[in-house]
Amino acid sequence: MKYLYGLVVALYFTSCVSDHAYKNNLYDSEYFHRSVKKLTDIMVYDIFSPPVASRTYVYPAVAAYEIMAQLDDGYSALAGQLNGLTPIPKIDTSSFEDPYLSAIEVYTILGQRLLFSEDKMEEFRSDLDKGWRKMGVPEQVIQASESYAQRVADHIFKWIDQDGYKQTRTMPKFSIQSDPGRWEPTPPDYMEGIEPHWDKIRTLVLDSAAQFIPLPPPVFDTIPGSAFYEQARDVYEAVNLEDEEFIAIASFWDCNPFVSHHKGHVMFGTKKISPGGHWMGIAGLAARQSGLSPMETIATYTLVSIGLFDAFINCWNEKYRSNLIRPETYINKYLDPMWRPVLQTPPFPEHTSGHSVISTTAAVLLTALFGPDYAFEDTVEMEYGLPARQFDSFIQASQEAAISRLYGGIHYMPAITEGVKQGEGVGNFIIQNLMFKK
């Protein structure tokens, strides 16, 4: 990747600010990495569902990207390309508005607005502010950059406010149908279906939530030998193998934001990263491994977050349209009432596999940025007690994420294979229709 960003920044500081030691230190991608990680950590604490997490990732990233892209001839603005997004206020470097400081500021402002635990992001923002001053950033640069970031945040929040999210908060809960082939809540908590109206959320690049409709699963049937019965048996047998590698893969890609544990009358929960959070983490690993500049780093996070956002909308459209019974429910009723999956079944319908859709989308986009043979060590889950895994490509990682749902006992194979196709459709459509780099 080639950039004119360094030249632009150099000219800015030469013309507007006398030489300061902070300049080289400020333009370190690690500040943005830290901001993304903080957003992830707070979402884990707040227990954001996977679809809602994707929304929380994308808007702050787009805002930061739009600020930085103004002064980089290698990137195109997303205004006019993403549905409903209009141009942000223009930066004025002659008034000491620094693009990178403003980008970090707008990311954390919007992140704070979209979180439940706003105080945790406010504390992080305060620490950043102290850091800029300790670094020697002139007060006029800090004040001007924060003021500009607030104007951009206000502009972006008006766009956010029109995406349909507020309206879905008042829509009715998902009603359980008596049809035996339809989804019903699963043990141990029998939670209601989450985000049944997520397909009403405005897409960013896709034409509609229903743009890539997968093939339907086999027709529901309980007769031994039928296609549906046999796909359930495949799940049953995969779990019963108790294969150590299968279990390791399932656990690594579990990414269930809240897993409940029941021991007698005692219940406690384990909080973990969401599927989208895992792939944002992979994006960060690749950006660090490749030594990307701040502009390149922000662009990477932004492209992946756009893909995750549209992929979740596309997948959720199918989930609640087909409204299919989960393997755990089917197997307990028709094969083995004592059987339990390796992973806790998430609280939403079966078809298609969300992890298969969003992982494939993210992998397609990361492959477009870094190439098809990009080897990396995935250390994202280590803080949750899981060992790192090595991959030769993003596609290989996404394939493992997809098949992990069979190994975990929470998806039939058609949900996985069709989910991969969905993810490919979403990822390739974004590549073909979003002018990202000039």
pLDDT > 90? residue 258: no
Indicate the pLDDT class of residue 259, thresholds 50, 70 and 90. confident
**pLDDT tens figures, 174-228:** 999 889 999 999 999 999 999 999 999 999 999 999 999 999 999 999 999 999 9
Residue 310: helix, strand or coil by DSSP? helix
Give the pLDDT mean for 410-428.
98
Percent of the chain with pLDDT over 90: 88
pLDDT at 27: 84
Question: Which whole-number Å values give the CA distances from 104 to 46, 110, 307, 371, in the listed order?
Answer: 22, 10, 21, 27
Which secondary-structure segment (H or E) carries 133?
A: helix 118-135
Indicate the pLDDT class of residue 269, thresholds 50, 70 and 90. confident
pLDDT > 80? residue 24: no
Q: Are 58 and 36 in contact (CB under 8 A)?
A: no
pLDDT > 60? residue 286: yes
Residue 24: helix, strand or coil by DSSP? helix
Q: Is 265 exposed, middle or buried (0-12, 13-18, 19+ CB in 10 A)?
A: exposed
Q: Are 366 and 394 in contact (CB under 8 A)?
A: yes
Q: How far apart are the two ends of the chain, measured CA to CA in Å?
A: 11
Question: Which whole-number Å values give the CA distances from 361 to 68, 210, 308, 376, in the listed order?
Answer: 25, 16, 7, 18
- Residue 302 CA to chain centroid, in angstroms? 10
Distance CA 435, CA 201 (A): 23
Question: Which whole-number Å values give the CA distances from 302 to 9, 59, 64, 305, 317, in the listed order?
Answer: 21, 9, 9, 5, 23
pLDDT > 50? residue 28: yes
Give the pLDDT mean for 36-41.
98
Q: How many CA atoms lie less than 13 Å away from 353 in the CB half-sphere?
A: 35
Q: Are 326 and 74 in contact (CB under 8 A)?
A: no
pLDDT > 70? residue 94: yes
**Structure-token pair, residue 98:** 């620094």
Q: Are 374 and 367 in contact (CB under 8 A)?
A: yes
Residue length of the chain? 438
Indicate the pLDDT class of residue 99, thresholds 50, 70 and 90. very high
pLDDT at 22: 58
Question: Which whole-number Å values give the CA distances from 10 to 15, 68, 139, 192, 321, in the listed order?
Answer: 9, 14, 19, 55, 53
Give the angle 368-372-377 at the CA atoms, nearest 5°.
Answer: 105
pLDDT at 358: 98
Give the pLDDT mean for 109-135.
96
Give the pLDDT mean for 271-291.
97
Positive or negative torsion for Cα 252, 196, 412, 217:
negative
Domains of the chain as residue ranges with CATH: 5-166 (1.10.606.20), 190-433 (1.10.606.20)
pLDDT > 90? residue 5: no
